Amino acid sequence: MSLRIVFAGTPAFAVPCLRAAARHGEVVAVYTQPDRPAGRGRALTPSPVKLEALQRGIEVLQPETLKAQVSRDALRALKPDLMIVVAYGLILPQKILDIPTHGCWNVHASLLPRWRGAAPIQRAIEAGDRETGVCLMRMEKGLDTGPVLLSQALAIGAQETGGQLHDRLSELGAQVLADGLGLLRAGIVPVARPQPDDGVTYAHKLDKHEAKLDWSQPATALANKVRAFNPWPVAEAELAGERVRIHGAIALDTTLHAAHDPAPGTVLAAGRDGIDIACGDGALRIRSLQREGGRIITAADYLNARRDLMPPAA
């Protein structure tokens, strides 16, 4: 069975899913966010999904909202069997959800009902989760509340960053979507399993103000935040009187510096392996960082410019 598919998505995360949906030439139109100013020149820049759609010769629509009657009429004119939504960025009203024959499917980067919302990848790492995954969900009016059609779990690496996990989940999402589409083409509608009421958490949108590290927190929490906020918004902190951005760090054994009972934020040690900072519990070893206006460097390179942090020669 051939399908008429409408795809809605905006960022790079959605591009592998668009490729999976378009594999058989069934995507009749792509919805994406309007071009936005980007870069130093603030020039209007098309979304990654728009660029992929244009390369494939697929019609692109970029409405500011889907609430108007004209938006419903435009979608209805496409006669979609299915609408696939992946990180689109606009709320779909119920009247839009009702138009496609098989409704609207959403690819979400978590194991629902954990981490509904805008930033499930980063929140999973920040919370110290060891596992996440992808859900293919049939959309309802609520925020990521719809029943799950298919899902696939994925272990989170001990040192995996938000950017690395983003890329792996993006590809896994395309795989799960392809599986769902394969079933639908075969005339098999995946069984919709309602989400349980227990275990609901919300992944609130990232804010740059969250990036500032508080040394009074446990080292493990700070290490998770450094990983989660890489590559954006990137953790930042006060390091021996200087504001730096921290790109790589690990939590040390909580007993390592316990005998010193230092104040949070104190530099405990500095060497080629990193710069150890006292935390509310344990210590954080900074491995890579960035000075104001500089590039990302190793802790060893940073110490070449901050000899004051090095221990005195024996």
110 is in an annotated binding site: yes
Instruction: Evaluate whether 174 touches 9 at the Cβ level (below 8 Å).
Output: no
170 is in an annotated binding site: no
**Block residue for tokens 């499917």:** 105
Dihedral angle over CA of 309, 227, 296, 264, nearest 10: -20
Nearest CA to 244 out of 268, 213, 215 is that of 213
Contacts of 228 (CB under 8 A, 6+ apart): 122, 123, 125, 126, 161, 162
Q: What is the token pair recorded at 96?
A: 């839009």
111 is in an annotated binding site: yes
184 is in an annotated binding site: no
Nearest CA to 6 out of 80, 66, 97 is that of 80
Q: What is the token pair recorded at 54?
A: 């244009």
Question: Do the strands 82-86 and 5-9 form a parallel or antiparallel pair, or are they unpaired?
Answer: parallel
Dihedral angle over CA of 8, 12, 14, 15, nearest 10: 90
Show binding-site residues: 110-113
Show binding-site residues for (6S)-5,6,7,8-tetrahydrofolate: 110-113
